[in-house]
Amino acid sequence: MKRFAKFTIDGKTVELPIIEGTCGPDVVDIRNLYQETGLFSFDPGFTSTASCFSNITYIDGDKGVLLYRGYPIEDLVEKCDFLEVAFLLMYGELPNFSQKESFEQSISHHTLVHEQLRSFYQGFRRDAHPMAIMVGVVGALSAFYHDSLDIYDPAQREVASHRLIAKMPTIAAMAFNYSRGRPLPYPQNGLTYAQNFLKMMFAIPSETYQINPVIAKAMDIIFILHADHEQNASTSTVRLAGSSQANPFACIASGIAALWGPAHGGANEAVINMLKQIGTKANISEFIERAKNKNDSFRLMGFGHRVYKNYDPRARIMRKACHDVFKHLKIDDPLLEIALELEEFAIKDPYFIEKKLYPNVDFYSGIIFRALGIPPSMFTVIFSVARTIGWVAQWNEMIADPGQKIGRPRQLYSGNVKRKIEDNRTS
């Protein structure tokens, strides 16, 4: 039965349809609100606004549940590799054997970047932040792959999507090696997605590089955990850019820019800086007090989430992966000790309990990256490599939606009313 919410203003009542999804809160359809009442809704930060229909990812933030196309993240990490998950996100189902084979073949076929694109790197300062390089180089892909820019041709959309998934590890590893003054790497297609990335990151031509299976597994898990997270800031940025019919490479570059900020993908870098700042376990309580103090801008980085008001399920998996890597590599990192104790303190503290602030995925990812020899400036880059499949899947879903419109929020204007330029304004 159709349900409606009633909205009454100045004696006039309008009926606003309720739309039901398969899980999660229903929504009030306010598309006719302005037409019927002359009012807009006001929702800065979109805390109560669903911006689209989506079949890709479901999060129950109160229960700490994350599903990709209906499958729990824990099961996907246990039973699938990253490219299977990428196929799932993009096409809606897990691949059968031949689909898996042909998807892997297509992705590995597209891992190389145009040779001329490689010379772009010389134009960047060696100390450029690799995210700056990512934004520039990924945006520049649209200047190279003209045959996959027609967004209304499903075959071109698919090629552009495969190119993006395939080239991101290459572009990221090139940015890393450029900053080190090392030769820019080439991909090796016989390897898995995670193995190939690790090899491009760390192998040097003068030595044989042995891929460590525990590290490759951890990297694969990191890629899966970061693959999609429904309508977060960067994904919404990709959708908004794409809604104007911009090409996919430009849209993904805009997503990378949005991901860069410390309130989003930059948080894992901020976690490491915070742990270093804390310095010793003895200082933990002082920093917790600072995080609780309204007059202090300090926040516990890696804690809190717009959607999760429970333990982020990705943080739990990451915590375990972190222990596995540390045990295997026999690493004794004081920052991990501080992180574990900080978590224990914070989750018992009434402030964090009341505000439902739990560790998020970024709390542990930086510590693993550190153990793998990946510098903080690369943390968000790796996140962007993993999230590309999510951006691409969400972008494809939006373009294929016949009801898709250009995204154009409204505003509550609070500036000057119409006024005149004074004749004596220069005196």
Which residues contribute to the site for ligand ACO (CB under 6 A)? 263-265, 267, 291, 299-306, 355, 357, 360-362
* Furthest C-alpha separation in the chain: 80
Tokens (6 digits) for 142: 């649209």
Q: What are the Cα distances from residue 137, in Å, to 115, 123, 126, 239, 392? A: 13, 11, 15, 20, 17
Here the tokens at position 257 are: 């820019």
Q: Give yes or no for a contact between 256 and 141, defined as CB atoms under 8 angstroms apart.
A: no
The sign one gets for the Cα dihedral 71, 77, 83, 84 is negative
Q: What is the CA radius of gyration of the chain?
A: 23
Smaller CB separation from ligand ACO, 291 or 338: 291
Q: Give the shortest CB-183-to-ligand ACO separation in angstroms.
A: 32
**Spatial contact of 349 and 289, defined as CB atoms under 8 Å apart:** no
To which residue do tokens 């933030």 refer? 61
Q: Which residue is nearest to ligand ACO (CB)?
A: 304
In sequence order, the 6+-apart residues with CB closer than 8 A to the CB of 165 are: 86, 107, 110, 388, 389, 392
CB of 100 or CB of 290, closer to ligand ACO: 290
Cβ nearer to ligand ACO, comparing 68 with 121: 68
Minimum distance, C-beta of residue 408 to ligand ACO, in the bound complex (Å):
23
For residue 221, how far is the Cα from the chain centroid? 15
Q: Using the minimum distance from each CB to ligand ACO, give the nearer residue, 302 or 390.
A: 302
On whether the CB atoms of residues 369 and 268 are closer than 8 A, the answer is yes
For the CB of residue 298, give the shortest distance to ligand ACO in the complex, in Å. Answer: 8
**Per-residue tokens: 197:** 């990335």
State in angstroms the smallest separation of the CB of 357 from ligand ACO. 5
Q: Which residues are catalytic?
A: 305, 362
| Close Cβ partners of 80 (under 8 Å, ≥ 6 residues apart) | 88, 94, 224
Complex with ligand ACO: residue 69 or 305, whichever CB lies closer: 305
120/260 with CB nearer ligand ACO: 260
Residue placing its CB nearer to ligand ACO in the complex, 60 or 158? 60
Q: 271: which 2 tokens?
A: 């976690």
Tell me the one-letter amino acid at 287: F
Least distance in angstroms from the C-beta of 2 to ligand ACO: 32
Considering the complex, what minimum distance in angstroms separates the CB of residue 299 from ligand ACO?
4
- The β-bridge partners of 7 are 14
Residues 6+ apart with CB under 8 A from 169: 111, 187, 193, 196, 197, 200, 385
In the complex, least distance from residue 342 CB atom to ligand ACO, rounded to whole angstroms: 11
